Structure formats: structure tokens, C-alpha cells
A and B are shown apart, each in its own frame.
Chain A
Amino acid sequence: MKAKNIVVIGVSTGGPMTLKTLFSELPPLDAAFLVVLHITPEMDFRIAQGIAASASMPAELARDAEFMKAGHIYLAPGGYHLKVEGNHRFALYTGPRVNYVQPSVDVTMFSFTRQSAGQLIGVILTGMGRDGALGLKHMKDIGATTIAQDQKSSVIYGMPKAALETGAVDYVLPPLGIAAKLVELLGRR
């Protein structure tokens, strides 16, 4: 089923354990989850398997030209940037690094456009640097609800801090609080 609700999560250092905590708390939800983690091609499928092992929803690497489905978790593969065409279809490509990384959270978040139905939610979790800050602001500008991880629970309070500084963050929460907020916003399937 094509996803009407979409959650985009940007994360870097400290991400795998944080994603484990977050997804282990989430019941199946009526949304597609797209995770952009700064990761190498050597490790991406292992990270996806790690997410799948802790989540109630299936998790897999995003594939080029694939359509997002509700109730699924997709991980952007290492070594590619990922854009989402029409808010639903993955497009993978290689190009210059953005914010020193590939995949870049900003690239993915900037590919989204305002949608007339369904919810868009952007989340920035622990990580070094500023990747995702401007992307999250873009998502806020097109009507998304935005969430950043709090300082206390962040392994590295770089990306969430940069996102907060844009003034575009609706909620600042620890991982368990983010899980509860997502359930509140999206409802159970």
C-alpha cells in the first residue's frame, strides 16, 4: 500500500543504538519510515538487519525506483544520495558529497514537496556536524511536523543542535519520547 504518511529520520554517529531504542518502542504504524544514516556501503545491509531485528515493522535497504510502502522501514544505502520523487519513489544517485557525507540527510529532505493529504514528519537524531538542519527546515516549510533529539540523550549533540538553531523544530525529545510522539501523531495501524 502506497504510504500517505512519511517519517524521514536523519542520523549519524550513535545512530544504530538510538535507532534500536526508537524502533523497538514503535508498534506497526500507518507510515513509511525512511532512515538516512551516515554509513558506508560495507555496513549498510548489516545496519538494516540490526534495525529489522529490533523493529515491529520490516526494515530493508531502499532500492532505486522503489515505491515506499506504509508499515515499512527503509534505510538509505551507503555510497549514494537518495531523493524521493513525488514524495513516494526512491531515486539513488552518486554525486559530490554534501556536508562531507553521502548519503546526505539534506539531499533527501530537500527532495520532498508539500503534499495535500497525509502527514510528513522529519526527525533529526544524534550525530556530528550540521547535515539535516536545513533539510528539516525545508520540511517544516512544506508543512511537516519536525522533531529533534534532546541534548541529554544524544551521543553527539551536533545535528540536533544545528536543527534546533534553525528555529524549525516543533518537538525536542529523547528517543522514547520521539516514539511516543510518533504513535500520537500517526496512530496505530
Chain B
Amino acid sequence: MNHEGTDMENGVMIVDDNEHIRQSVQMICEFEELNLVCAASGEECLEHLQAGFRGVILMDIMMPEMDGWQTIREIVERGLYSGNLILMLTGMGQPDSRMDGLQEYVTDYLTKPFGPDQLVDALKYYLKLVQA
């Protein structure tokens, strides 16, 4: 778990058990000079939020133990959603019924593989919104 920058606000958090995805997002964010926090699991995501992270969260759906939907439910139930905005990362074409009741907390979807330009456009737009 990368603790660097866990106290920052208006950053980006990538939550994905796939190291390759985390590294790809890290490279893009470094190039664009966006502050990034990496979490390899839903638990790590919750730890970063409890440590004060606020910003845009890129959330993988398919993760072992706590998947993306369970993680979002925990974020909401623990009162950690405020000040954040969640974009789901998925390799699937369509979400399933586990999203019912969570629509209001999932602002957008990025389908893997996503291009750097698509990711940067989304991050810059949504970072502006969370900073408003």
C-alpha cells in the first residue's frame, strides 16, 4: 500500500488489484502532474479515505474479497463518500443488478482498455467538479 499523499485532497485514487492497471494509471497521472494514490484492494481504499483522501476514485469492479460494489457500500455506510466522486473501471460491457441503489454514487464508467486521452479527459473534468 502506497501511503504517500494519503492526506491530500483533490487527488486521484486508483483502486485495482491489477498492478499493471495501477502502474498504467500512475504513468498517465505523473505525465499530467495529477496527484495519485494507489490502492490494491477495497480495504486499502477505505484506509486512504479514513486517512483523509478526497477526490476522484477510479474503482475496479472485479477484485478478490471486497469487490468494487462492496467497497462503495462500505464507503457510504462509513460516511466516507462526501467530497469524493467515483468512476467505475470495468472490462464488462454492462453493469449488473448489484449496482441497484448505488447509481447515485457512481458518476461514470470507464471500460477497459481505456485510452490515456479518455482517462485524462475524464479525470480533469471530474477533478474540477470535486474542487468546485
Contact = CB atoms under 8 A, between A and B. Distances in A.
Tell me whether A and B are bound partners: yes
Given A78-B104, A129-B100, A155 B109 contact: yes
A136 B125 CA distance: 29
Contact of A12 (B81, B101, B103, B128): B103
A128 B107 contact: no
B85 A100 contact: no
Contact of A156 (B95, B129, B130): B95
B122 A17 contact: yes
Contacts of A140: none
B62 interface: no
A16 interface: yes
A45 interface: yes
Interface string B74-109: 000000011101001000001100011101111111
A46 B103 contact: no
Contacts of B82: 42
Contacts of A100: 100-101, 103
Contacts of B126: 16
Interface in A14-40: 14-17, 20, 38-40
B110 to A, nearest CB: 9
A78 B82 CA distance: 13
A50 interface: yes
A39 B128 CA distance: 17
A119 B27 CA distance: 50
Nearest to A103: B104
A16 B124 CA distance: 13
A171 interface: no
Nearest to A40: B104
Interface of B: 81-83, 85, 88, 94-95, 99-101, 103-109, 121-122, 125-126, 128-130, 132
29 contacts: A12-B103, A13-B88, A13-B103, A13-B106, A13-B109, A17-B121, A17-B122, A20-B125, A38-B103, A40-B104, A40-B105, A42-B83, A43-B129, A46-B130, A49-B129, A50-B125, A50-B132, A78-B104, A100-B100, A100-B101, A101-B101, A127-B103, A128-B95, A128-B103, A129-B99, A129-B100, A129-B103, A155-B108, A158-B94
